[in-house]
Amino acid sequence: MTAPVTPVTPVLREMRWWDIDPVLELERDLFPEDAWSRGMFWSELAHARGPGATRRYVVAEDEAGRIVGYAGLASAGDIGDVQTIAVARDHWGTGLGGRLLTELLQAATAFECTEVMLECRVDNVRAQKLYERFGFEPIGFRRGYYQPGNVDAVVMRLSTASDSGSAAGVPSGPAAPAAPSAPLPPLHPLNKEPRSMTDEPLVLGIETSCDETGVGIVRGTTLLADAVASSVDEHARFGGVVPEVASRAHLEAMVPTIDRALKEAGVSAKDLDGIAVTAGPGLAGALLVGVSAAKAYAYALGKPLYGVNHLASHICVDQLEHGALPEPTMALLVSGGHSSLLLSSDITSDVRPMGATIDDAAGEAFDKIARVLNLGFPGGPVIDRYAKEGDPDAIVFPRGLTGPRDPVYDFSFSGLKTAVARWIEARRAAGEEVPVRDVAASFQEAVVDVLTRKAVRACKDEGVDHLMIGGGVAANSRLRALAQERCEAAGIRLRVPRPKLCTDNGAMVAALGAEMVARNRPASSWDLSADSSLPVTDPHVPGHDHVHEVSKENLYS
C-alpha cells in the first residue's frame, strides 16, 4: 500500500523585486477591486533593506517555486502597522496565514515596536479570529476603508509588551486574506459617533530638492500621511548624491508616492484645498521634477498651487509635532546642504537670515569624514552610531569661526574637515591604527559644540526664548542632547521634531502650504519655476490670482 504523500510546507523568505510580478498576480486574484499597483510594491520594498529599513515584506514559496502568500509590515517610531497579508486560495486553512503573521510580529520586535496595528474587513470574521488568537484586540472602525465597495474596516491593536503579544507558542489557525492596509480614514472609536471633519485646510506637499521623493498630506497642523521614496542606495556607490540619478528617481517614484500618500491619508485628490511644492533651494533638475508634477496635479484638480521655500518648510514642520510656532522663533537648520541660523517672525512671509555656513555645511562634513573613515554614505547616521562608543575628548579638533574677530553667527566646517582628514592620514602613514570611534566622537563633538553655542547666543542676543532645530543633522543624538542641555541652562525652550520629520519629507512642505492657505497668502502663478538658489527671505513664491480661476472642472480622474 502506498503511503500518503505529505504536502511540503511553503518556505518563507524575504520578498525581493523579482517577486513583484507573481505577487501582483495573486494580489489581483484576491483583491480585484482594490489591488495594489506595481509602483506601490516597489515603493514599499525601497524601504525594506539597509540600515534605515522601516519595512519587512516576506513571501511564501511552495516546492514548485510558486508564490502562495505574502505579507508586509511598516514601522514608524514604536508603532508597527500590518500593511498586507494574503494567502492563495488553495492554501487557506493550512496555517500559512498564521506563519506569515508570526514573521511580521518578529519583525515588529526587531524594529522595537511597542504595539502593532492592523485593519481587517468587518465581514472577514475568519481573519479577525486569527488575529485575536495572536492577542489583537478591536479598538475602532474606519468607515468606508475598503473601496470601491465602501466596506468598513475594524481596527485591531496588539501591545507587544503584553504576554499575548508574543508570537511564539500562539496556535496558527485558518488563514484568510486581509486587504492591503495602511492608516487611512479617520478612526472612529467603538460605540461612538464619528467625529466631524474640521475646516482646516487639507494640503498635499511635494518635496524633491535632493534625493528623497517626499509626499505629505496635512489638515491644518495634523499630519495625515508622510510617504517617502528614497534613492539613497543608488547614490551610495558614488559616495554622494548624483543630480541626474536623483532626477530620474524622482520621475519614477512621483506618481506611486502620491498615490500612496492619498491612500494613507484616506482622502481623495479632489478633496485637497491646495498643492504645495518645494521651489528651491536644491538641485535644479530634482526641483524641476517636483514643480512640474505639482503644477500638473494643481491644474488638473483645479486647485491653487503654492511654491514654497525648502528651508522655511524645515521650520514649519515642527508645527505638526509641537503646535503653532511662537513668533518670533530662532531656527537652527543643519543638513547636507545647509547650516543656517534664521529668525522667523512669520513663517509665511518674514524669515531673516542671522548666519550661515561660508563653506561646507555640517551634513556635508559628516559625509566627507565618513568617507575618509571608510564608513559609507550617508555619513551622519553612521558617525552618530560610532560616536556613541567613542570618547569625544580623545582628540581636540578645531572649532571654526569661534574667535573674537570672527562672524558671530556664521559657520565654517571646511577647516575642521581638513584637520580631521589630515589627522587620520598621519596615523595611517605612521602605520598606526585609526581609532574610528574616538575620531567619530571627537569630530561630532566639534560640530555640535559650534552649532549649539552659536544658536544659543543668537537667542540671547535677539531676546528670543524659543529655539527650533531642523534639517537632517537634527536627527543626530548628540546635537539634540547638547542643545537641550545648553538651552535649559540659558532658559530657552527647545523644539526639535522627531527624526523622521527632520530629514527631507513632503510633510514639511504640506505644513507650510497649509499655513499659506490658512493665512490667505496668494497662490503661485502657473509660470512658477524651480530656483536652485531661492533665498530663505522668500518663504514662498507668490504669483497672480488667476491661478484660482484657471480650471473650473476636476480634470483628474
CA distance 335 to 365: 10
Tell me, yes or no, whether 197 lies in a domain: no
> Within this chain, do residues 425 and 340 fall inside the same structural domain, yes or no?
yes
> Within this chain, do residues 294 and 219 fall inside the same structural domain, yes or no?
yes
Choose one of 149, 167, 189: the last residue of a domain. Answer: 189
Predicted confidence at residue 160, as pLDDT, reads: 62
Q: Is the pLDDT of residue 182 over 60?
A: no
Range of the domain at 173: 11-189
Tell me, yes or no, whether 551 lies in a domain: no
Residue 142: how many other CB atoms lie within 10 Å = 21
Please list, residue by residue across 73-87, b when 16 or more beta carbons sit within 10 angstroms of its beta carbon and e when fewer do: bbbeeebbbbbbbbb
> Within this chain, do residues 231 and 142 fall inside the same structural domain, yes or no?
no
Q: What is the CATH number of the domain that holds 155?
A: 3.40.630.30
CA distance 157 to 73: 14
Mean pLDDT score, 79-92: 91
Tell me, yes or no, whether 3 lies in a domain: no
> Within this chain, do residues 334 and 286 fall inside the same structural domain, yes or no?
no
CA distance 108 to 99: 14
Tell me, yes or no, whether 458 lies in a domain: yes
Q: Is pLDDT larger for residue 433 or for residue 149?
A: 433
pTM assigned to the model: 0.62
CA distance 221 to 207: 18
- In Å, how far are 17, 100, 179, 223, 428 from 40, measured between CA atoms? 12, 20, 14, 21, 47
Tell me, yes or no, whether 33 lies in a domain: yes
The tens digit of pLDDT for each residue in 27-81 reads: 999 888 778 888 888 888 888 888 788 899 999 999 999 999 999 999 887 888 9
Domain count, the chain: 3
Mean pLDDT score, 365-386: 93
Tell me, yes or no, whether 1 lies in a domain: no
> Within this chain, do residues 377 and 446 fall inside the same structural domain, yes or no?
yes
Predicted confidence at residue 21, as pLDDT, reads: 93
- In Å, how far are 165, 319, 446, 514 from 219, measured between CA atoms? 33, 12, 40, 7
> Within this chain, do residues 164 and 272 fall inside the same structural domain, yes or no?
no
> Within this chain, do residues 30 and 176 fall inside the same structural domain, yes or no?
yes
Determine phi and psi for 350, rounding to 5 degrees: -140, 90
Element (H, E) at 306: strand 305-309
Give start and end residues of each alpha helix (H) in 31-119: 38-45, 96-110
Which residue's C-alpha cell is 556664521?
410
CA distance 196 to 186: 10
Burial bucket for residue 422 (CB in 10 Å: 0-12, 13-18, 19+): exposed
Q: What is the CATH number of the domain that holds 290?
A: 3.30.420.40
Q: Is the pLDDT of residue 482 over 60?
A: yes
> Within this chain, do residues 229 and 119 fall inside the same structural domain, yes or no?
no
The tens digit of pLDDT for each residue in 259-269 reads: 999 999 999 99
Does residue 85 contact residue 101 with C-beta atoms inside 8 Å? yes
Tell me, yes or no, whether 376 lies in a domain: yes
- In Å, how far are 319, 373, 501 from 322, measured between CA atoms? 5, 37, 12
> Within this chain, do residues 422 and 513 fall inside the same structural domain, yes or no?
no
> Within this chain, do residues 335 and 253 fall inside the same structural domain, yes or no?
no
> Within this chain, do residues 302 and 442 fall inside the same structural domain, yes or no?
no
The tens digit of pLDDT for each residue in 495-544 reads: 999 988 998 999 999 999 999 999 888 999 888 999 999 998 888 787 54
> Within this chain, do residues 130 and 253 fall inside the same structural domain, yes or no?
no
Choose one of 189, 215, 234: the last residue of a domain. Answer: 189
Tell me, yes or no, whether 533 lies in a domain: no
Element (H, E) at 333: strand 329-334
